[in-house]
Chain A
């Protein structure tokens, strides 16, 4: 460790940084690219967040007060697309870029130039999604799932959306190839696969999922494109096609996509909980195996998203049974995190608070998922706010809280400075309370029968909608506090100690100085 410090101190001055804007435009440095991914994702989080607030403000009271229905539909569509593809996925790719090389003792990613391209494809895609709002007829109000026949009939905004999805898919595939190659070929001597931090394992598995399903999504939107412009009838019943085919293709991508988002989040939480429990992760090997099997099983349950689309009772039963069974390995993971904390020397700094918040709320989101997996129940609840509540517990309290945990956890390593712990705790508690105010009541709305994706609703839903909107504004404004905390940390935070978290034991904490030097592990460490 001492040798590594001396070595890197020296290396850091051996050749200078590129400076100015070209440092970022031409960057091949995994840390710089990771930083760009994280800032991009935060920017998109803000854009998608504003869309969410437009949705919630319109729903504050029954009747149409603020926006027109077409614009409302466009907001629900692009809120979903931007949050999934622009905010959550790039956030975890940012973590992967920053951490995987440091955690396996590699000097950088395997294909640094491709890494640069993966990132720089994202801003054009984001601009297309935003530009779609200004096309004739406004944004495509087709829902983030882009179901036919709406998507084959929508205005020109749909073409921009399709192109954006293509570009985002290419970026994801290139990023995945990079991650797989880096993990399989660039580990330091002695760093066997089963010695890797669980975060690296979760990303290895996620990257395979991405390579497997992104082309499926690309196929689905390409068929939509040719149906729109080139005379094909894949999804057009009048031409011998089938609109339900689109749903099958989309969800064959869409269900693994849920795990593409959730599994890296599991990885982050699996680094944070052991560090603040001062114990190794309980059942490391089980966690690796459970993650791999969740990934495989995620390909076999897709039609539980479309029970009401029409399918034989055999298929309904198959997808119901298979979905219930996939909860078993996920449940094992939750038990492992709890067992990691059991009899540990727990402390509750901000990263740990977010990780425990994740644990509670993700479990709740998982349970409502089980409720929805029961076909007869889903026939009642399909396309209601119960579904909206369910997937926001998984996406926000699952993925986003885990990303917050990771950012607070690694900020000292990234910046060399500490964030303000008091403000961090405020951010956690405000987020936790307002998140539940926003989304818990949506379970009741769904059970009472309020459909999703509507700008107006019947009077009996008024109270819970008003509560949910207040929660949404509180949650949104709380995230400005997060931005303030991060900027304050970067500009004037206290200098971070070499190892701010005594329980953290992966290579970036044990073998590298804080802040991590621009180039690390040019000489690989030897892992015993």
Chain B
């Protein structure tokens, strides 16, 4: 299915990379190669994901505040 990806050995992801990953998930666009370069634990994704979701809500709420002012 995938060729020789594991042999290169994934690197541990930094916080910024996990954030990038979660944000690209919100958009729904992500290169497979980018995903395979990184080693990410589910816990990292869940924590960053929940924070990003909260930020998403806050962003929309502030846009709303801006609009109704």
Contact = CB atoms under 8 A, between A and B. Distances in A.
Interface of A: 194-195, 283-286, 289-290, 292-294, 296-297, 300, 313-314, 317-318, 321-322, 325, 328-333, 505, 527
A296 B49 contact: yes
B31 interface: yes
A283 B29 CA distance: 8
Contacts of B65: 314
B57 interface: yes
A86 to B, nearest CB: 32
Interface in B3-38: 21, 24-32, 34-36
Given A293-B25, A322-B60, A332-B28, A194 B35 contact: yes
Contacts of A294: 28
Given A300-B56, A322-B60, 5 more contacts: A285-B32, A285-B34, A290-B25, A296-B49, A317-B64
Interface of B: 1-2, 21, 24-32, 34-36, 49, 53, 56-57, 60-61, 63-65, 67-68
Given A194-B35, A195-B1, A286 B64 contact: no
Contact of A314 (B27, B29, B68): B68
B68 A286 contact: no
14 contacts: A194-B2, A194-B36, A283-B30, A284-B32, A289-B25, A293-B25, A296-B49, A300-B53, A300-B57, A313-B68, A314-B64, A321-B64, A332-B27, A505-B1
Contacts of A293: 25-28
Given A285-B35, A300-B56, A321 B63 contact: yes
Contacts of B30: 283, 285-286, 289
Nearest to A528: B1
B29 A286 contact: yes
A317 B68 CA distance: 9
B26 A297 contact: yes
Task: Tell me which of B29, B32, B53, B65 has the highest count of chain A C-beta atoms within 10 A of its own C-beta.
Answer: B29
B14 to A, nearest CB: 18
Nearest to A313: B68
A279 to B, nearest CB: 13
A130 to B, nearest CB: 40
A289 B1 contact: no
Nearest to B45: A292
A317 B62 CA distance: 11
A321 B24 CA distance: 19
A472 B67 CA distance: 45
A331 B28 CA distance: 9
Nearest to A299: B53
Contacts of B57: 300, 322
Contacts of A283: 29-30, 32
Contacts of A330: 28
Interface centre among B1, B2, B30 (most CB of A within 10 A): B1
A286 B56 CA distance: 20
Most B CB within 10 A of own CB, among A292, A293, A313, A318 = A293
Contacts of A285: 30-32, 34-35
B19 to A, nearest CB: 13
A49 to B, nearest CB: 35
Contact of B27 (A194, A284, A318, A329): A329
Given A285-B35, A314-B65, A332 B60 contact: no
Nearest to B27: A328
Contacts of A297: 26, 53, 56
Residue in A325, A333, A505 whose Cβ sees the most chain B Cβ within 10 Å: A325
A280 to B, nearest CB: 8
Nearest to A506: B1
A527 B28 CA distance: 27
A294 B65 CA distance: 25
B39 to A, nearest CB: 11
Given A195-B1, A300-B53, A289 B64 contact: no
A313 B57 CA distance: 16
A284 B2 CA distance: 11
